[in-house]
Amino acid sequence: MGEEGMVSDDKNSFVKANPKLTVLPLIALIFYEVSGGPFGVEDSVRAGGGPLLSLLGFLIFPLIWSIPEALVTAELATSFPKNGGYVIWISSAFGPFWGFQEGFWKWFSGVMDNALYPVLFLDYLKHSFPIFNNLIARIPALLGITVSLTYLNYRGLHIVGLSAVFLAAFSLFPFLVMGIISIPRIKPKQWLIVDFKKVDWRGYFNSMFWNLNYWDKASTLAGEVENPSKTFPKALLGAVVVVVCSYLIPLLAGTGALNSSSEWTDGYFAEVGMLIGGFWLKWWIQVAAAMSNLGLFEAEMSGDAFQLLGMSEMGMLPAIFASRSKYGTPTVSILCSATGVIFLSWMSFQEILEFLNFLYSIGMLLEFAAFIKLRIKKPDLHRPYRVPLHTFGVTMLCLPPALLLVLVMCLASVKTFIVSGIVIIIGILLYPASLHANNRKWTHFDVEQSLVSLDNLDVPQPRQQVTDEASVSLLPVLSSSEFGQEVSETSAEGVLKLD
């Protein structure tokens, strides 16, 4: 193979030079990070006591949650266009300790989120194949799905991005057909039905929140995006439109054409398709669900794996997490995420949903705080895309979604508080343990890289191997006694300039 097909890398010898993500594949990946289609929104109808709250939720929640989170992501992802995403944002604002905690919480919640998709896939299949209600068939199926999808992720991010485009089109098309077929049967007054005595507020808010979060996840792939300063804002805008339409059209069709709301549980859209169009539409939706879960799994695993890679490149994790395969994918990081998925797949849909929402909420509160602090602390930071509001304006922008996050956390069960508390304690202990392992050289942390002081993020860097403000190494420059200090206190003498 010629030199054009290979890229030299000190850590990984030679790896293939894979194409960068462009706007359309990034839209598809964000779509799958957040949504993947209407599969899984059925619970919002039952938990909401009827169609009204579900439909209102998917109209209102995007305004107070999705759009603010997408705007924050667009500004920070273009300001720090490196793998690692929000870990770098938090580290810049509050220091490496909190950056590490953010990374651990979001990675753990991401792995929990990914464990949902094999479960959801089998929930759709069991309507036609009841054998998947039995553990003797369900466990091997979950394992087989996870292993096969993990291998596809290993084969390359550009393959994942391009396949996501086709999977999104294939997964959404049957719902467009169902919407058209349902028009003669729709009774608009059925959209207004709500029984507040049957409303399960915890289930309702968890369903809404889960189906409309993770807009920030794509930031962990920023280093793999072509021209991120222009690509990210366009992709996020396009993804918001696609996600909202993918929820509202099927819900309007299904709830408007059918009477019952109590039967709306995970996988019910397959039955809706049969009642509206017949068995052919039911099977089509089930196949679409399978394809959608494939895309959801691939997008989430990509985000989780490249987050670990970014943390390793920053010196927060051992260098082995940054090692890439010949396809340019972070092999060890992928295997680590896949292992977590396998261990969590035994949990029920609702249990996983509540746990991941709680951890995700904590991380997002920290992200909003970092967004505001960076506006104050680093007003001259190079922001290729900037939310067109001053500090007070962006604070008001973040207030409604922050209140929603607190509400979701307050509605959590005691079990969720206990499990999440254990995860938080583990994260707190892992950080000094990593520092100690690095100081004792028990494992190799990559310190032979360029360091860019976070105090100088607003200063343009030479266009050599350091191409943006976010190429930072945090862990190697700190001793175990300094882990509570902010990154901004790192000495300017720690900056290494490449020849």
Q: Which of 79, 92, 100, 361 is CA-nearest to residue 205?
A: 361
d(CA 279, CA 224): 42
The pLDDT tens digits along the chain (499 residues) read 443 344 444 444 444 456 777 888 888 888 888 888 888 788 889 888 889 999 999 999 999 888 999 999 999 998 998 888 899 999 999 999 999 999 999 888 888 877 777 777 777 677 667 777 776 777 787 788 778 778 777 766 667 777 788 888 888 999 999 999 999 999 999 999 888 988 988 888 888 888 888 888 888 877 788 888 888 888 999 999 999 999 999 999 999 998 776 678 777 888 899 999 999 998 898 888 877 877 778 788 888 888 888 888 888 888 888 888 777 778 888 888 888 777 776 666 667 777 888 888 999 999 999 999 999 999 989 999 899 999 899 999 999 999 989 988 888 888 889 988 999 999 999 999 888 888 877 776 664 443 333 444 433 434 333 333 333 333 333 333 443 443 344 333 333 333 3
d(CA 325, CA 265): 40
Q: Which helix (H) or strand (E) holds 15?
A: strand 13-16
Domain ranges in the chain?
A: 19-440
How do the residues of the chain divide into helix, strand and coil, expressed in percent and rounded to 5? 70, 0, 30
Backbone angle region of 40, left / alpha / beta, with phi > 0 → left and psi within -120 to 50 → alpha: left
Show the tokens assigned to 258: 């059918």
Q: Which of 390, 357, 323 is CA-nearest to residue 154?
A: 323
Residues 6+ apart with CB under 8 A from 124: 39, 267, 270, 285, 286, 289, 290
d(CA 484, CA 432): 10
Show the tokens assigned to 15: 């790896």
Identify the pLDDT of residue 197.
87
* 34 and 215 Cβ atoms separated by less than 8 Å: yes
Report the DSSP beta bridge partners of residue 9.
13
**Domain boundaries 19-440, corresponding CATH code:** 1.20.1740.10
Task: Give the CB-side neighbour count of residue 419, counting CA atoms within 13 A.
Answer: 19
Identify the pLDDT of residue 102.
93
Identify the pLDDT of residue 306.
84
d(CA 122, CA 144): 12
DSSP string covering 402-454, please?
A: HHHHHHHHHT--HHHHHHHHHHHHHHHHHHHHHHHHHHTTSS----SS----G
Tell me if residue 328 falls in helix, strand or coil. coil
Q: In Å, how far from its chain's centre is CA 485?
A: 28
Count the neighbouring beta carbons within 10 Å of the beta carbon of residue 4: 7
* 364 and 216 Cβ atoms separated by less than 8 Å: yes
| Cα distances (Å, whole numbers) of residue 472 to 38, 56, 336, 452 | 39, 43, 23, 5
Identify the pLDDT of residue 156.
63
Task: Give the CB-side neighbour count of residue 268, counting CA atoms within 13 A.
Answer: 19
| Cα distances (Å, whole numbers) of residue 83 to 172, 305, 329, 354, 468 | 30, 10, 12, 27, 12
Helix residue spans in 196-348 (DSSP H): 201-211, 228-257, 269-277, 279-313, 331-344
* 445 and 318 Cβ atoms separated by less than 8 Å: yes
Identify the pLDDT of residue 280.
92
